[in-house]
Structure 1
Amino acid sequence: MHELGVVFKIIKDLEEVAKENDIEIIDSVTIELGEVSTVIPDYLTDCWKWATKRTTILASAPLIIEKIPAITYCRSCKGEYETVKYGKTCPYCKSDDTFLLQGSEFKIKEIEAV
């Protein structure tokens, strides 16, 4: 489960941002998580709850996860389609000359602090 390592990295980054901006308490954190990012949202949330209880700055901050759908582009027909539903093969022209446009992202979108 690499989610715990991901959470530790997020916490470290947030602590640095808080220090740079004289923030004592972070009230919530919003991340954008790609549908095919390999991070499992439920595991991430569980790890977040466990790890943030051990910090002062994030002890009561919920983690809000916004899902980014996975979309693939086909070079052959110039179409876009749902990656999870169809995989690498374009459902329109059956080409496998495709690449992922979005859906593998993992980024901190917003930090709320009062």
Structure 2
Amino acid sequence: MHELGIVFHIIRTVEDVARQNDVTRIRRVTLQLGEVSGVVESYLQDCWKWAAAKSELLPGAVLTVETIPAVTVCEDCGQQYPTVQFGRTCPHCQSPRTHLLQGHEMLIKEIEAVETGPTAPERA
């Protein structure tokens, strides 16, 4: 299960960003995950809950996953098509000369901090 290693990497990155920005608690992390990345979201979520609970900055933090659709382009006819539906063979010209444009990515899109409350200006 490589999802645990991925979660550890995400948490280290989020903790680094939090420290750089003087954030003491994280509420939510939004991850963009390619449709053909090979990561199983349910395993990722289970690993996240376990690992986040052990972090000082992330207990109770939610991991939101947005799927990036897989898109392939054909080198012969130039058409783009949905990878999962049609695979490696172009549905337009039947060419096997194709390559993946998107859908393999894994990106941290957003980190939402817990607000500690606004600091109101003192009144005289």
Fold-level similarity (TM above 0.5):
yes
The TM-score, its normalising length taken from structure 2, stands at: 0.90
5 Å-filtered alignment, 1:18-37, equals 18-37=18-37
**Corresponding residue of 2:47:** 47
What secondary structure is seen at the aligned counterpart in 2 of 1:60? coil
Q: Deviation of residue 28 (structure 1)?
A: 0.4
The TM-score, its normalising length taken from structure 1, stands at: 0.98
Whose Rg is larger? 2
Separation of aligned partners in 1, 2:35 and 2:74: 19
**Corresponding residue of 1:107:** 107
Give the length in aligned residue pairs. 114
1:66 paired to 2:66: yes
Structure 1: any 5+ residue segments left out of the alignment? none
Separation of aligned partners in 1, 2:15 and 2:100: 32
Structure 2: any 5+ residue segments left out of the alignment? 116-124
Q: Deviation of residue 40 (structure 1)?
A: 0.7
What secondary structure is seen at the aligned counterpart in 2 of 1:47? helix
Separation of aligned partners in 1, 2:55 and 2:112: 16
User: Could you tell me the percent identity over the aligned residues?
Assistant: 54
Q: Deviation of residue 75 (structure 1)?
A: 1.3
Q: Deviation of residue 60 (structure 1)?
A: 1.1
Q: Deviation of residue 2 (structure 1)?
A: 0.2
Q: Deviation of residue 56 (structure 1)?
A: 1.7
Aligned CA RMSD, in angstroms, stands at: 0.6
